[in-house]
A and B are shown apart, each in its own frame.
Chain A
């Protein structure tokens, strides 16, 4: 059988890959993709803990469902922001979005 540690190490790796994407990508949509990878890693972690240790309770499942919903809300609003900025300024590169710089 698969030990819990495999799932944990895998989701850590996926989280770190996503983190690299968030930190290193220039394109704002690329950054959002990195966030999606991180959220997936978190979800996998939650579901693994639920499945191995706490399957009698429903907390884990509800948490996973809420993470799904939050992720989709985040993507919807985030992409809408990017498109809105793109429409005004014609840029999608996060480094160049400097309107609010003091």
Chain B
């Protein structure tokens, strides 16, 4: 077994375990910190795909921004949830059943697909071509519309979230 396969298995096991802790641990702050570890593991798996840009972006956006946002939100809403008692609802066994069934079903469905055991990479050794990616983003025959729509989506998210999150003093009479 090659070294790279061992690295993959180690990272995958750590990621799955920390993902399991995210959904099952009682304290929400601990869950958020486990989430950071799980996201870091996913970034490492991105790196094993021989890409350069996306693992870095994963750390920058997911850990730097999204995980921080989640931690701040946990701190903001913490007073009522003192993290006592079970953090899972009464139907958790049903949820576990659905998840396990889905996993088994999807693996079974995948195993019938012939492309499963591909080991050759189409990606060049130097990683993805960021210049080509950038050109494709602004190419009129490429992805100009997604590029602009993404910024509009961000604008919409910003406006909506700010509107929801700021306190409206006139209504709280």
Are chains A and B touching in the complex at the 8 Å CB cutoff? yes
Q: How large is the interface on A (under 10, 10 to 19, 20 to 34, 35 or more residues)?
A: 35 or more
Chain A, 67-98, contact with B by CB distance < 8 Å: what is the 0/1 string? 01111111111011111101100111101000
Chain B, 58-101, contact with A by CB distance < 8 Å: what is the 0/1 string? 10011001100110011011001100001111011011101110
User: In the complex, are the beta carbons of B28 and A1 less than 8 A apart?
Assistant: no
Within 8 A of B (CB), among A22-66: 23-27, 29-30, 32-34, 36-37, 40, 43-44, 47-48, 50-56, 58, 61-62, 64-66
User: In the complex, are the beta carbons of A17 and B4 less than 8 A apart?
Assistant: no
User: In the complex, are the beta carbons of B164 and A83 less than 8 A apart?
Assistant: yes
List of B residues within 8 angstroms of A81 by Cβ: 164
C-alpha spacing A40/B66, complex, angstroms: 12
Say whether B10 faces chain A, with CB atoms less than 8 Å apart: no
User: In the complex, are the beta carbons of A13 and B70 less than 8 A apart?
Assistant: no
List the interface of chain B (C-beta within 8 A of A).
2, 4-5, 8, 12, 15-16, 19-20, 22-23, 28, 31-32, 35, 38-39, 42, 45-46, 48-51, 54, 57-58, 61-62, 65-66, 69-70, 73-74, 76-77, 80-81, 86-89, 91-92, 94-96, 98-100, 102-103, 106-107, 110, 115-124, 128, 132-133, 136-137, 142-143, 146, 150, 153-154, 156-158, 160-162, 164-165, 167
List the interface of chain A (C-beta within 8 A of B).
1-10, 12-14, 16-21, 23-27, 29-30, 32-34, 36-37, 40, 43-44, 47-48, 50-56, 58, 61-62, 64-66, 68-77, 79-84, 86-87, 90-93, 95
List 6 tightest A-B contacts by C-beta distance, closest first.
A21-B23, A23-B95, A73-B157, A55-B122, A80-B161, A80-B164
Question: Could you list 11 examples of A-B contacts with CB < 8 Å?
Answer: A14-B15, A14-B19, A19-B102, A24-B96, A26-B89, A44-B46, A51-B50, A61-B133, A62-B143, A73-B153, A79-B73
